[in-house]
Structure 1
């Protein structure tokens, strides 16, 4: 029997609390760019290892750092004066069982490809200086043979992961506003950059969204045009908000603008990383895509950690999957929180503790839910390497 514990959690559900704060840093935020590059490198290295030796070898790329550049913006188009500096740092296995592996080249290509796919105005060849400093990692041959034999990998750390379900209305709103600005509004309005941060504050039944959205200067000819697009964006957010909440929603975009002085949020490349804002892996969204100070959270940087035995990644992703599966499979759950603790050197499918805390709907008994919750957790632990496969295939997001 795995170390699975199920208990009732007595507290005021977040949806019923008077004040709720939720944040999401968009794809073009410097911290998210760092997360995206780190995860892209890890996936690329994992695929390269599988192609060359049949297993994923030891690596971690979760220390990627972004040092802001310098740009001079202007209505109608400015220019990057000093490129952004991105340090690709971590560890990677570069030689295994007689086989050389070009880890630096694979990581560099993955980083550039990610920037091209995520950012339409940021040129990885001219706007960024990449510095590849991946240290030499090593993979134990015995450990590889054990994995090929079907054994679960051994945890590389004593750490924990946390997940919860479901999202509140505010959480759903904040997450989807950023996603839809990126996926929809940005695609029809060239003036919108990828660096979008959404901060949600719910006070009772009123939600206030404060949105910081980078505009691309070459697509804005004047303050008048800037204000017109800004108003269009505000209307777009107001329009989609009703799909996620029936509460009153107030929307404020780029509140630091000083129109009289023509000081507005313009960028050349669509990200504040071009001019003063640095970025680091793990300083942004948790692996569920949000920053939620009203919920338990792990401080682990999930992006870039290897998906084989780094529990800082695996257990955070796993905890969220178990939480959502419990919520969807078991009737009567108001909220559910999952915490998973590893012990270094022990199999990752045998956590030191897996805690499932349930806030039940009125009239429901947690004791009657315990068996089903245990089954959900047990099934995931018995198939824990599925998390690895999903990560490598890009099916799970880490930020």
Structure 2
């Protein structure tokens, strides 16, 4: 019969289904409102009765259990009856069941999530665990009549330190400074990264924009000349934004607990969860920011040095293309300022019927055009198409070279 009775005892909260732990009737008698506490006699041995023993969880069969879950307001329930007591029927708030506010953790010595957050903010670490362990020896604790769980608070305090650290970290990430002179770190980092890419694109626009305009039949030489004038300024702005992005990403962050994670000073499962969870979240976020920063850096460098390799992409400087057996002519071109301009000129000349090869040197401002042996140089067509592209050009030597 006793075995059958044992199997029918309720160990899970009837409201939320959370697995509950035993609690002494002494706890119920001390913490329930007077009208409910009368039927509970102080017949249980206190878990903190002697100073020589650790404050341990209740192991005796008391018939009552404590539910710490935040998913319901049931605090105590009977194992075999339908009787249960909620938070409103207790004399003290149940910190474990609260998700905001002070959230009491140690009812003997006054530690809470709120007080731990203040301690972390003041000195970067929490000594709550050490303080409790010292005071448990002298003057001693009275968890069974003060703590709604009826057991030692060290586990709850360890978890509370984790919660306090996480909340402070989230506040540091999300709070907007009160000063109007400074924007948030996240917004500043985004602006710096976007500004880096945009300014790098503008710094190279003198090369890629004329090519784009030429492809749709619009002259872009004038625009290229204007953009080339501002290219140094855009480059300085690009490096300024890039420096700011590196600063926001790699600057030292405020560590909530620099002493080595106070929440991980014990060997409990809660402490392990604290270290693992916080570390993973921080690692993932910081790693993503760093990856994005280096992607932005690569894009910025690619755009900034676009004028240097645009000729390679489009085959502008293929000197072997113009051979000695071709009928050749040289043209003097004004307005070329970089390899991108040389690419634009070469692309334009190649559109002229009869042109076999082109060799453009923007530093000398010259273009050598080759046609098949015996064919005439389409000089007028070349002058016309380069003029349409916005360049000033004249034949340097119209005779065969």
Same-fold status (TM-score > 0.5): no
Q: Which has the higher strand share?
A: 1
Q: Which has the higher helix share?
A: 2
Which structure ranks higher in relative contact order (CA pairs < 8 Å, sequence separation ≥ 6)? 1
Q: What is the TM-score with the length of structure 2 in the denominator? A: 0.19
Structure showing greater Rg? 2
